[in-house]
């Protein structure tokens, strides 16, 4: 298929068409893997294999593209569009495997390769999309598309290619094309620098303390793990608590020492903005300016306008309206929640005003008072293997008829990674699923799904899909007990996996999650509902020692508390979303010189400058926004949640966890990938446009 202009780390479809080359003799990337479903031969792939495979892959694809562009035959759908879909087999394979490993299991060599190849890959994509002869063939077909008698998926593919070329600058003058190439190369290099700085700063920014007593409140096992982490870093006798790439840090809910909490919160918020080799402030300014210049060159007011045109939201006005409508009630709720927390502080004669470092700790106290339980009561019932096999997989079996069989014979890139064959209801193998659940210092933060192989009937491929979480690994012999949020995340990411595995499309351009960014989170968010569905939860929420099920009264409290703390959760998310839009709605002339000053003023202007609730991501570690994946698109989670909340109501109205419901959702939406307009897919499934009331009710923003 045609490899699009994107930063390294984005998964692409992979064709099985092998293109052996003398330059790659002995290189396992030279041809498609002979393992089942072309599963990557991780045990054979070495760091030194990537650069020659990248270079040869680009050379071969440009040769293929040149043949298409300069063909003497009149342009046809097959000799132009389908030919592009089939091109770049080697490059697609190496880019996919490299990008996935660089996110999940990187090292200094891979980081160096990333830095070297990012601008080259951007230039490679430009060489394709800015090829005048190639675009002329695409445009000739597009102009007469109604007379070509194409099936619906093929016609949509032709329209998408035309849109892709136009948005990539195909209509620019020769001089402006050269300017765009330079800008794209700059953006690619800067995004790579930002990404690497975030990971390195996160690893360097852990909390270091001298005594066990300073970590009071954390479990003995967690404190032991902190001691082991410090020893591994050459700080024997001290304790090291790693941070995750969000503003809030999980230990803040447990640490009883306020000074230690404040130290942890401060170092979290300062990442990338306090000087040193990983400071991202100048990188942010350069990215924002380069993106704004690109948008201007392409005829858009700003980068957000350029980005949103190709999403279901379509324009900045729609996104601004959604975010601004929710900001005031969200902050209002957060202030009420803060008052509840302050009351507990005052009752304890704390003598301080509630701050960001205190929120999680005192939220647990209020939750315990209000609902008579705390999060630690849940963890013994959420053992990782039970959550995965008897929860996530069980729900998929009941809803879609899927079954799973773990296999130990396929190679993995880390010993903790697990691999499962996935079988459809008819017993035929549907996909291979990779589960990479534990945090590592060489693994990017957060949780995500990617594909090593994407489904395509044109190429005869089936999905090899991976889920990645960042669950702290316990000491040897200890169980892996999850928080409620980690359980939800496991279900969420598997929703993405289902979207990939259920793909039933012809063209790789449309496979699986190849949908607008503000639609891609929708199916994954829907899958979260099964985490607390009574039949599912009773099957996996069992005490890891006794096997006893979670008491019904505890479950009832969990469900009753679902709207609890929504003011905080909505405000921290909205703050980040609004920052993302503020940065990307600037023109080149409006780019500021002071990152933190601009951030502070933006939060104030938007009415979300509530210090106890900082943005979920501050600018300098906001990877969603400045690494390229969700630039001007972080709002997408909320946009998708509107569809999700409405869909949850549909499932409830139609009987919940039943095969007929799963089959309908799969047939009308999950299997369709990007073969139609995303909102058309929703309407075909739901029978109408989405409504916002279920979302407002879920987030406690109705005033009830």
Predicted confidence at residue 7, as pLDDT, reads: 30
Name the pairing type of β-strands 239-241 and 418-423: unpaired
Which of 375, 493, 521, 641 is flagged as catalytic? 493
Is residue 8 pLDDT above 50, yes or no? Answer: no
Report the b/e string of 77-109 with b at 16+ CB within 10 A: bebbbbbbbbbbbbbbbbbbbbbbbbbbbbeee
Q: Residue 9 — very low, low, confident or very high, per pLDDT cuts 50/70/90?
A: very low
Q: Is-catalytic flag, 493?
A: yes
Same domain? 419 vs 462: yes
Same domain? 144 vs 210: no
Least confident of 4-13, 189-198, 216-225, 621-630: 4-13
Q: Domain for residue 186, yes or no? A: no
Rounded distance, CA 214 to CA 191, Å?
Answer: 37
Same domain? 141 vs 213: no
Name 574's Cβ contacts closer than 8 Å, sequence gap at least 6: 323, 326, 327, 330, 608, 638
Q: Which of 248, 270, 292 is the last residue before a domain boundary?
A: 270
Q: Residue 21 — very low, low, confident or very high, per pLDDT cuts 50/70/90?
A: low
- The rounded mean pLDDT for the chain is 93
Q: Which domain holds residue 525?
A: 384-561
Q: Which of 122, 156, 171 is the last residue before a domain boundary?
A: 171
Contact 255, 217 (CB under 8 A): yes
Rounded distance, CA 251 to CA 255, Å?
Answer: 6
Q: Domain for residue 589, yes or no? A: no
Predicted confidence at residue 203, as pLDDT, reads: 85
Rounded distance, CA 514 to CA 499, Å?
Answer: 10
Predicted confidence at residue 189, as pLDDT, reads: 95
Q: Which of 538, 561, 584 is the last residue before a domain boundary?
A: 561
Residue 497 Cα distances to 7, 466, 527, angstroms: 21, 7, 10
Q: Domain for residue 540, yes or no? A: yes
Same domain? 119 vs 34: yes
Same domain? 388 vs 536: yes
Same domain? 414 vs 484: yes
Q: Domain for residue 176, yes or no? A: no
Question: How many domains does one find in the chain?
Answer: 3
Same domain? 433 vs 528: yes
Same domain? 388 vs 515: yes
Q: Residue 703 — very low, low, confident or very high, per pLDDT cuts 50/70/90?
A: low
Q: Domain for residue 250, yes or no? A: yes
Same domain? 250 vs 130: no
Same domain? 392 vs 511: yes
Q: Domain for residue 478, yes or no? A: yes
Same domain? 403 vs 505: yes
Q: Domain for residue 568, yes or no? A: no
Entry pTM: 0.89
Specify the CATH number for the domain of residue 40. Answer: 1.10.1370.40
Rounded distance, CA 510 to CA 198, Å?
Answer: 31
Q: Domain for residue 241, yes or no? A: yes
Same domain? 27 vs 167: yes
Predicted confidence at residue 501, as pLDDT, reads: 98
Rounded distance, CA 192 to CA 51, Å?
Answer: 16
């Amino acid at each position: 298929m045609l490899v699009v202009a994107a930063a390294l780390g984005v998964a692409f479809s992979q064709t099985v068409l092998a293109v052996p080359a003398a330059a790659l003799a002995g290189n396992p990337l030279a041809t498609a893997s002979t393992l089942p479903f072309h599963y990557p031969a991780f045990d054979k792939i070495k760091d030194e294999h990537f650069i020659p495979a990248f270079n040869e892959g680009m050379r071969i694809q440009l040769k293929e593209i040149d043949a298409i562009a300069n063909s003497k035959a009149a342009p046809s759908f097959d000799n132009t569009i389908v030919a592009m879909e089939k091109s770049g087999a080697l490059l697609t394979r190496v880019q996919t495997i490299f990008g996935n490993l660089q996110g999940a299991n990187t090292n200094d060599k891979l980081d160096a390769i990333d830095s070297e190849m990012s601008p080259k890959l951007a230039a490679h994509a430009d060489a394709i999309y800015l090829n005048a002869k190639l675009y002329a063939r695409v445009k000739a077909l597009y102009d007469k598309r109604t007379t070509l008698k194409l099936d619906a998926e093929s016609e949509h593919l032709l329209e998408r290619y035309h849109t892709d070329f136009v948005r990539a600058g195909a209509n620019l003058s020769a001089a402006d094309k050269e300017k765009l190439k330079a800008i794209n190369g700059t953006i690619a290099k800067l995004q790579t620098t930002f990404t690497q700085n975030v990971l390195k700063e996160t690893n360097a920014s852990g909390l270091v303390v001298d005594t066990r007593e300073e970590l009071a409140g954390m479990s003995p096992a967690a404190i032991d793990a902190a001691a082991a982490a410090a020893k591994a870093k050459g700080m024997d006798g001290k304790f090291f608590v790693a941070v995750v790439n969000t503003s809030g840090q999980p230990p803040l809910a447990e640490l009883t020492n306020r000074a230690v909490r404040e130290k942890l919160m401060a170092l979290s918020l300062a990442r990338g903005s306090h000087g040193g080799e990983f400071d991202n402030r100048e990188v942010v300014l350069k990215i924002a300016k380069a993106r704004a210049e690109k948008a201007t060159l392409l005829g858009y007011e700003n980068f957000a306008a350029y980005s949103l045109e190709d999403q279901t939201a379509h324009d900045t006005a729609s996104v601004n309206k959604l975010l601004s409508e929710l900001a005031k009630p969200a902050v209002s709720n957060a202030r009420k929640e803060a008052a509840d927390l302050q009351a507990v502080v005052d009752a304890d004669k704390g003598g301080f005003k509630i701050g960001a470092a205190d929120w999680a700790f005192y939220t647990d106290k209020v939750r315990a008072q209000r609902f008579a339980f705390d999060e630690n009561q849940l963890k013994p019932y959420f053992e990782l293997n039970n959550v995965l096999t008897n929860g996530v997989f069980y729900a998929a079996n009941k809803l879609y008829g899927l079954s799973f069989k773990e296999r130990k014979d396929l190679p993995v890139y880390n010993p903790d990674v697990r691999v499962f064959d996935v079988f459809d209801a008819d017993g035929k193998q549907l996909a291979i699923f990779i589960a990479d659940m534990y945090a590592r210092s060489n693994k990017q933060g957060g949780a995500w799904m990617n594909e090593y192989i994407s489904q395509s009937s044109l190429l005869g491929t089936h999905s090899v899909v991976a889920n990645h979480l960042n669950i702290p690994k316990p000491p040897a012999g200890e169980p892996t007990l999850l928080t409620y949020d980690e359980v939800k995340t496991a279900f969420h990411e598997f929703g993405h996996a289902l979207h990939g595995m259920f793909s039933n499309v012809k063209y790789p351009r449309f496979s699986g999650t190849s949908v607008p960014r503000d639609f891609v989170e929708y199916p994954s968010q829907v899958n979260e509902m099964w985490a607390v569905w009574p039949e599912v939860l009773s099957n996996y929420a069992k005490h890891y020692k006794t096997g006893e099920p979670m008491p019904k009264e505890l479950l009832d409290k969990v469900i009753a508390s679902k709207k609890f703390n929504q003011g905080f959760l909505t405000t921290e998310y909205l703050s980040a979303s609004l920052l993302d839009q503020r940065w990307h709605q600037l023109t080149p002339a409006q780019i500021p010189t002071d990152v933190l000053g601009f951030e502070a003023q933006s939060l104030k202007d938007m009415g979300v400058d509530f210090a106890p609730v900082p943005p979920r991501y501050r600018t300098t570690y906001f990877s969603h926004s400045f690494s390229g994946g969700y630039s001007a698109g972080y709002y997408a989670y909320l946009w998708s949640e509107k569809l999700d909340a409405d869909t949850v109501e549909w499932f409830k109205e139609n009987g919940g966890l039943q095969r007929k419901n799963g089959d309908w959702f799969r047939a009308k939406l999950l299997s369709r990938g990007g073969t139609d307009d995303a909102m058309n897919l929703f309407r075909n499934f739901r029978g109408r446009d989405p409504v916002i009331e279920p979302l407002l009710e879920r987030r406690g923003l109705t005033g009830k």
